[in-house]
Structure 1
Amino acid sequence: MATLADTRVPARSEERFFFTMACTIAAVLAAGFSFHLAMGRSSFAVPLIYHVHAFVFFGWLALFVAQSGLVAGGNVAMHRRLGLLSLLWIPLMLVVGTLMTLASLRRTGGPFFFDANEFLIGNPMGLIAFAALAGAGLALRRRTDWHRRLMLGSLISITGPGFGRLLPMPLTVPWAWEISNLVGAIFVFVAMRRDSRHLGHVHPAWFVVLGLMVGTLAIGELIAYTPWAIELTRSVLEGSPGAARPMEAYMP
């Protein structure tokens, strides 16, 4: 009995760590959107897709925190039942996130500190990284060490919008896109450091997370500046208020 208890202590410590990480990331994302709302840079008077996107995005965030909390609290049975929602939510995130990208571009031209073509191509690529990590995490749910790291990695991969609302993004041009999308990797490095201290090595799942985050970003950048992608961006913007902005990042 003592041996079983002793082996359970490190596991409970890891579960608490992942719950704390989930709560911290949720706080960063909530702070970013709340800050913009408080500063008057965001409004509830927006098209329906904005509200749907907010519901889906923060719904995933709430689901993730709840799932982490259930595991940390020892309620694995409820965690497994609630996890079935992920099968619906992951593709929903992909579809709604892409529609939101198109709506933002046509309504305002997208964030002015990003190149329009970069925003159009890069956002779906980031969503692909998210879906790949979350999907792999679900597929490996019986391998707890991989499951929890890949799932947390999927959340980390979509922290860009939160950080982008907290950082002075105009000052980061022309690297605004790269910075907003990769600053969340700090959470990966924190987790890698913990693994190194508690396991004696860095779990390979974190290299998969970093590889997908950096890889999809790089592929998105390569595609975004092709003639095809630039023409696609022009066609998306054509006939909309967003067409008034230049293709490149600019200062309003």
Structure 2
Amino acid sequence: MAGLLIAGFSLNIVMGRSSFERPIIVHAHAIIFMGWMVIYVLQNWLATKGPLALHRRLGWLALGWLALMLYFGTAVTVMNVQAGTVPFFFQPLHFLVFDPMSLIGCIALIGAGVSMRADTGWHRRLNYCGMALLVGPGVGRLLPMPLLIPYAYQSAFAVVLLLPVIGIVADWWRDGRVHPAWWWGLGGMIATEVVTEAIAFSPMGLSLYQAVTAGTPGAAIAPLAFPPSPLG
């Protein structure tokens, strides 16, 4: 998962699709989210190599870090929606909903994993599924998103679902059975997507979009229309 994120964002820079000339909040967002990736990888290393006491202490820091991610992730999403700079392969209203919902789903799954930390089998698998929900932006930067309109987001999400499937196959191969935590984790990921679609394509979603964009350039953009492609 870390490799997918690094590859996706590195490709973005190499292809000139990203610039360091962005508002400070975007840089803070990047540092916080990449910081989370480091924390997650480090936590896995500590859980297997030790010391476990440090793993446990860092776990509480990780929960606070998730709160920062929710704030900055939502703030950057709202900034792009208000400015009318949502990527052209996403519908603005859908983008406004699925970014924060992915974070909420991640926090819910990792929170469940932390609550079951006494049972390593559940703990690590639920945390894994929560982390998987955050890999979408990296996957999306590796896929030919313009060619996947109108299902670009759904295509990236489908690829993300392969991550827990890998874990399910690994369990079956190693143990001859699948740990039930995978079904709960996978179900939580799918539930996040179902709720996202239900909100985005409902009157509640439209009201949310109107409230967020009121008085901004985003108000002039059709909530569920794909923005014009810069490719012509």
Q: TM-score, normalised by structure 2?
A: 0.92
Runs (4 or more) in structure 1 with deviation over 6 Å come to none
Identity of aligned residues (%): 43
Equivalent residue letter for 1:30: I
Are 2:129 and 1:153 equivalent residues in the alignment?
A: yes
Contact 1:146 1:205 in 2 (8 A): yes
Residue 16 of structure 1: aligned partner:
none
The CA deviation at 1:116 is: 0.9
The CA deviation at 1:227 is: 2.4
Q: Secondary structure at the match of 1:130?
A: helix
Q: Secondary structure at the match of 2:195?
A: helix
Residue 203 of structure 2: aligned partner:
227
Contact 1:182 1:214 in 2 (8 A): no
Ranges in structure 2 where 5+ consecutive residues have no aligned partner = none
Question: Partners in 2 of 1:33 and 1:244 — Cα distance?
Answer: 30
The CA deviation at 1:240 is: 3.2
Residue 13 of structure 2: aligned partner:
37
Contact 1:109 1:243 in 2 (8 A): no
The superposition leaves residues 104-141 of structure 1 with CA deviations (integer Å, 9 ceiling, x where unpaired) of 21234312111111111122221111001110111111
User: Of 177, 182, 188, which residue of structure 2 is paired with 1:212?
Assistant: 188
The size of the alignment, in residue pairs, is 228
Contact 2:102 2:134 in 1 (8 A): yes
User: Of 185, 188, 193, which residue of structure 1 is paired with 2:169?
Assistant: 193
The CA deviation at 1:241 is: 4.0
Question: Partners in 1 of 2:220 and 2:11 — Cα distance?
Answer: 27
Question: Partners in 1 of 2:209 and 2:50 — Cα distance?
Answer: 48
Q: Secondary structure at the match of 1:46?
A: coil
Residue 103 of structure 1: aligned partner:
79
Instruction: Map residues 1-252 of structure 1 onto 2, 5 A cutoff.
Output: 25-243=1-219, 245-247=221-223, 248-252=225-229
Contact 1:170 1:251 in 2 (8 A): no
Q: Secondary structure at the match of 1:84?
A: helix
The CA deviation at 1:251 is: 4.1
Q: Secondary structure at the match of 2:142?
A: coil
- The Cα RMSD (Å) is 1.6
The CA deviation at 1:81 is: 2.1
Residues 87 and 232 from structure 1, CA distance in 2 versus in 1: closer, same or farther, beyond 3 angstroms?
A: closer
Q: Secondary structure at the match of 1:97?
A: helix
Question: Partners in 1 of 2:163 and 2:63 — Cα distance?
Answer: 25
The superposition leaves residues 112-171 of structure 1 with CA deviations (integer Å, 9 ceiling, x where unpaired) of 111111111122221111001110111111111111111111111111110111101111
Q: TM-score, normalised by structure 1?
A: 0.85
Question: Partners in 1 of 2:220 and 2:12 — Cα distance?
Answer: 23
Q: Secondary structure at the match of 2:122?
A: helix
Equivalent residue letter for 1:180: A
Q: Secondary structure at the match of 2:2?
A: helix
The CA deviation at 1:188 is: 0.8
Residue 21 of structure 1: aligned partner:
none
